[in-house]
Structure 1
Amino acid sequence: MSDPQYLETPQGRRIAYHLTAGDGPCVVFLGGLKSDMEGTKAVHLEAWCATQGRAFLRFDYSGHGQSSGTFEDGCIGDWAEDTAAAITTLTTGKVIPVGSSMGGWQSLLFCRAHPERVAGLVTIAAAPDFTEDGYWASFTEDQKATLEREGQIAMPSDYMEPYIITKRLVDDGRNQLVLRDPLPLPFAVRCLQGTADSAVSTETAVRLLNHAESPDMRLLLVKDADHRFSDGPCLGLIEQAVTDVIAAAS
């Protein structure tokens, strides 16, 4: 495994990344909450793009992986700034974001802010607005009081150790919501979702499909696939989705 390079963002955060040169549009992998750029999907896509001679970027948000900061200090807006800094500084021309889970939300934020830079979009178990519609909506009154009083609360996860959810994460999330106002995505979009996903529901995927405005947006539900979406057949579906949006942009 090669050592990452580092980018200093305008906000003073140090972002670890791997950038592979190649033809555009550059594929950019955006990982999930508390995941990092060494995950199966990111590394697989990097190798696949290399066989295609296509440019590829993967990076860690601040407080994740090899980047600076701690997870508990971060929020959706911070990671959106990291995403914008990485893409605008390290790539040229158009890009194809591939957003997994929270990275799906991040990809939508980037597409909304910089539509001129996007050739197409792929999401994998996208989790837009989860701080509000997932965490806050599911909290009991006692949990909400604890969050207000102590500034954080521990949430169990089916996929790793419990998350520490902070009041800042929830409060900032309300400023980053993408499912309340119009969401134009003027390019091809492919959304992938497993029916056995215990972190993101198929209802969320359908809600995004119905809400966004796109000339060519499709949702593929994969029976029995879980939130990781990283076995061989699922990785093949990600490759096909990227191939589809590249073809649509040509």
Structure 2
Amino acid sequence: MTQTRIHAMPDGREIAYRFTPGQGPALVFLPGYMSDMAGGKATAVFEMAQATGVACLLLDYSGCGESGGDFADGSLTRWKEEILALIEALSIKGAVLIGSSMGGWLMLLAGLALGDKLKGLIGIAPAPDFTEWGIPQMDKALLADGETIYEDNPYGPEPTPTHPGFWAEGQANLLLEGEIALDCPVRLLHGQRDPDVPWDISLQLAEKLRSADVQVTLIKDGDHRLSRDSDIALLLRTVAEMILPRGTAEA
């Protein structure tokens, strides 16, 4: 098992990550909201990368998992900075970003910043713009007034918070309102029984991406997490199809 390491950001943030070197492009797994690199999908991708000699990076955003910091301070821009800083620090020259749920929003924002380093995107129930479509108008009013809102969490005992700073920053980073200027291959996987992110969000995203090489796979009985053995097998096949033909490309 590759050990967890710490990357220190210029402002003192300590970001936990795991990295296995190899041929490229490197796989970079971006977890969802309040999730971390210990999840089943991230672990499966990392183990596949190790088995096939492909470079792979897992990370915990600040305030999540093994990283330092307070989750209440988290924002898309802050977490994007951490992703980009690790890619730079590890001298990754080409990356395929794999984003789960909120990580699917972050993969787009980080991808736009990576330029030619971006070699592909794989979204798992991607949730761009969820601060817009995923929050009732009444709650938006509370957030705009500086209040934190809490929702029932089907995945754990504690309610899920949305902090006003995260919400406001999300509203400043909406992407589905216009063209998303990315031209790399994109694969989107989405369960049609997803109670958290409507599957038509993936269809909207496919339409807004400038790339002509975009494919959406709908899993009729799939839920939001897509973490069953069959779902993970589909994810790994999708990853393999994107990277293995170019396995000798620049890392």
Give, in angstroms, the shift of residue 71 of structure 1.
Answer: 1.0
RMSD of Structure 2 on Structure 1 (CA): 1.6
2:32 aligned residue:
32
Rounded Cα–Cα distance in structure 1 between residues aligned with 2:245 and 2:120: 8
Following TM superposition, the consecutive aligned residue runs of length 4 or more in structure 1 with deviations greater than 4 angstroms are: 247-250
1:154 aligns with 2:129: no
| AA partner of residue 32 (structure 2) | G
1:5 aligned residue:
5
Per-residue CA shift, 1:104-138, capped at 9, x if unaligned? 11100011111211111111000001112212xx2
Q: Which runs of 5+ in 2 are unaligned?
A: none
Per-residue CA shift, 1:198-220, capped at 9, x if unaligned? 11111111110111111210000
Rounded Cα–Cα distance in structure 1 between residues aligned with 2:145 and 2:172: 21
| AA partner of residue 236 (structure 1) | A
Per-residue CA shift, 1:124-162, capped at 9, x if unaligned? 000001112212xx232xx34433445211122322331
Give, in angstroms, the shift of residue 241 of structure 1.
Answer: 1.2
TM-score w.r.t. length of structure 2: 0.92
> Which among 199, 202, 219 is matched to residue 205 of structure 1?
202
Deviating more after overlay: 217-226 vs 108-117? 108-117
Q: What are the equivalent positions in structure 2 for 1:55-204 lying under 5 Å apart?
A: 55-135=55-135, 138-140=136-138, 143-160=139-156, 161-204=158-201
Give, in angstroms, the shift of residue 91 of structure 1.
Answer: 3.8
Per-residue CA shift, 1:53-82, capped at 9, x if unaligned? 111100000010010111112111111111
| AA partner of residue 219 (structure 2) | V
1:238 aligned residue:
235
1:43 aligned residue:
43
- SS of 2:123's equivalent? strand
Per-residue CA shift, 1:76-101, capped at 9, x if unaligned? 11111111112222242101111100
Give, in angstroms, the shift of residue 11 of structure 1.
Answer: 3.6
Work out the percentage of aligned pairs sharing the same amino acid.
37
| AA partner of residue 221 (structure 2) | D
| AA partner of residue 155 (structure 1) | E
Rounded Cα–Cα distance in structure 2 between residues aligned with 1:247 and 1:48: 11
Q: Which runs of 5+ in 1 are unaligned?
A: none
- SS of 1:114's equivalent? helix
| AA partner of residue 87 (structure 1) | I
Contact 2:129 2:176 in 1 (8 A): yes
Rounded Cα–Cα distance in structure 2 between residues aligned with 1:186 and 1:179: 16
Give, in angstroms, the shift of residue 230 of structure 1.
Answer: 1.1
Rounded Cα–Cα distance in structure 2 between residues aligned with 1:191 and 1:248: 19
Rounded Cα–Cα distance in structure 2 between residues aligned with 1:76 and 1:6: 20
Contact 2:2 2:20 in 1 (8 A): no
TM-score w.r.t. length of structure 1: 0.93
Contact 1:95 1:117 in 2 (8 A): yes
Q: How many residues align?
A: 246
Give, in angstroms, the shift of residue 246 of structure 1.
Answer: 1.8
Deviating more after overlay: 157-166 vs 98-107? 157-166
Rounded Cα–Cα distance in structure 1 between residues aligned with 2:77 and 2:10: 14
